[in-house]
Amino acid sequence: MSSFVQPLDVPVPQETLTAIDARPLDLPLSQETLAAINVHLAPLAPQQIIEWAVAHLPGLYQTTAFGLTGLVAIDMLSKLSSPPPPLIFLDTLYHFAETYELVAEVKKRYGRDVHVYKPGGCEDVAAFEAKYGDKPWENSESVYDWAVKVEPAERAYKELNVRAVITGRRASQGSDRANLQPLEVDTTGLLKLNPLFAWSFNDVDAYIKENNVPHNALLDQGYKSVGDWHSTEKSKAGDGGERAGRWAGKEKTECGLHEDYFKMKELVRILHSVAVK
């Protein structure tokens, strides 16, 4: 019997119902199947969305920078009867010390496998800046984003045969995330599951406190969101949005991993080849 609940006002063809119930899902998804899945997932609680994903999505991993929403997902996954998907952490080499301490704490508490990916050919800041120059985030922001996030992610997805990822994005974070759906497909065909897409910051904060979930110590020191140390500031009085303090003074709202930077890959490589000559 189908586990998919068909909304009365949205007729779904039988072949779509069959496709949705496949374990694992047959990829790539058609637009009709994706739309039907989102209709099914939208009213569910995050725990139910996560449970559905573990049962249905092939090649599933969780990508995380250990922000609050990602930590909630990690905790929820730990409570499932089935093994949780492995974690992928993109180490930009410019995280705060507190972030690295949190990674160690999460590994100890939850016993999760964490695949760490750094910029290609760079084990430390010295190697990275020898390759890309001093303060590359100022000199060529697109090259920097590609080098620390997009290329390592692409390499991770290829080496680990990743077909789908769990993200910590939420619609209430605003800007480019305002119209977020539970399940998305990017231009490469990668599935992105956003189980807490409908939660507010207060929902996340309450879960963290009620379940004693570890979190970044900087959040208790005036930071609203934590990224690289060079592009993260303490939030000021009157700053709007929970991601205030990230890329202050810039129009930028995403690091590149959730933008269509894969289409820019060749352009950025050309820019970099010119820059290092």
Q: Find out whether 204 and 230 touch, Cβ atoms under 8 Å.
A: no
Which segment of 14-23, 51-60, 236-245 scores lowest on mean pLDDT? 236-245
Angle made by CA atoms 107, 112, 115, in degrees to the nearest 5? 90
Q: What is the pLDDT of residues 60-97, one digit of tens each?
A: 999 999 999 999 999 999 999 999 999 999 999 999 99
Q: Is the overall model pTM greater than 0.85, yes or no? A: no
How far is Cα 11 from Cα 222, in angstroms, rounded to an integer?
A: 49
Provide the CB-side half-sphere exposure for 262 (13 A, CA). 12
Domain map of the chain by residue range?
A: 28-275
Beta strand spans in 86-174 (E): 87-90, 114-117, 164-166
Which H or E run includes 50? helix 46-56
Q: What is the pLDDT of residue 173?
A: 81
Active site residues: 255
Q: What is the pLDDT of residue 172?
A: 86
Fold annotation for 28-275: Rossmann fold (3.40.50)
